[in-house]
């Protein structure tokens, strides 16, 4: 399936075109020129350089990041599909300008270890696979809680022991997902 993007200038949905800094889509050289204040020479230089303004016959999948600050609150887990939005959100949360991965590492280094404050960024490029695995992980946790709750209302015996074993098995399954795919964890266990 071809990945489509919307041109930032004309609004056309296209499957090929220029990407500026990997995020801003420009469908043609004309739209790129308009984007850069009608400076055609600027566009030519950026295209020749090939670093910040690149032509793509097929757009790549967007990068996805999962960001966590401090592991102490579920509202501190967020997903982003571009670095600029991600660094802006991190800056807002930590009360300091963060512009790069190096800035995140530096901020984390300066924190008091006693409070466990740090910025964790996990990168993944297949968002559909992430959500599939995340669903399976969450189902394991729900099953664990369900079996455990059912076992608690039963008197001691074979059925209660069986449900407790099932709860333990599903908990182990959830931990396996967490070990194999650390990005699925969002403070649940």
Domain boundaries, the chain: 5-56, 64-124, 127-184
Q: What tokens appear for 41 in the block?
A: 């020479």
Confidence of residue 141 (pLDDT cuts 50, 70, 90): very high
186: Cβ contacts below 8 Å, ≥ 6 apart: 68, 74, 77
Q: What tokens appear for 153 in the block?
A: 């209302």
Report the distance separating Cα 59 and Cα 8, nearest Å: 15
Q: Is the pLDDT of residue 72 over 70?
A: no
pLDDT, mean over the chain: 86
User: Distance between terminal CA atoms of the chain?
Assistant: 36
**Averaged over 133-147, what is the pLDDT?**
93
- Phi and psi at residue 12, to the nearest 5°: -70, 140
Confidence of residue 155 (pLDDT cuts 50, 70, 90): very high
Q: What tokens appear for 125 in the block?
A: 């490029």
Q: What tokens appear for 76 in the block?
A: 């501190």
Q: Is the pLDDT of residue 32 over 80?
A: yes
* DSSP for residue 2: -
Gyration radius of the chain's alpha carbons: 23
**Averaged over 107-122, what is the pLDDT?**
75
What's the predicted TM-score (pTM) here? 0.51
**Averaged over 123-151, what is the pLDDT?**
87
Report the distance separating Cα 56 and Cα 25, nearest Å: 10
Task: Tell me what percent of the residues of the chain surpass a pLDDT of 90.
Answer: 44
């Amino acid at each position: 399936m071809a990945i489509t993007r919307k041109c930032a200038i004309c609004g056309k949905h296209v499957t090929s075109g220029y990407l500026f800094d990997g995020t801003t889509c420009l469908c043609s050289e004309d739209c790129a020129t308009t984007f850069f204040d009608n400076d055609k020479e600027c566009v030519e230089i950026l295209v020749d350089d090939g670093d910040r303004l690149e032509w793509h016959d097929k757009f790549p999948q967007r990068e996805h990041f999962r960001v966590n600050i401090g592991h102490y609150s579920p509202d501190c887990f967020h997903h982003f599909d571009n670095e600029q939005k991600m660094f802006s959100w991190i800056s807002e949360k930590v009360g300091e300008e963060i512009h790069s991965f190096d800035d995140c590492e530096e901020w984390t280094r300066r924190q008091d270890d006693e409070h466990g404050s740090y910025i964790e960024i996990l990168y993944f490029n297949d968002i559909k696979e992430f959500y599939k695995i995340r669903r399976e992980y969450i189902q394991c946790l729900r099953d664990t809680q369900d079996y455990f709750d059912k076992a608690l209302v039963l008197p001691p015996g074979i059925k209660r022991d069986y449900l407790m074993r099932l709860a333990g098995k599903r908990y182990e399954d959830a931990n396996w997902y967490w070990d194999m795919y650390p990005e699925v964890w969002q403070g649940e266990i």
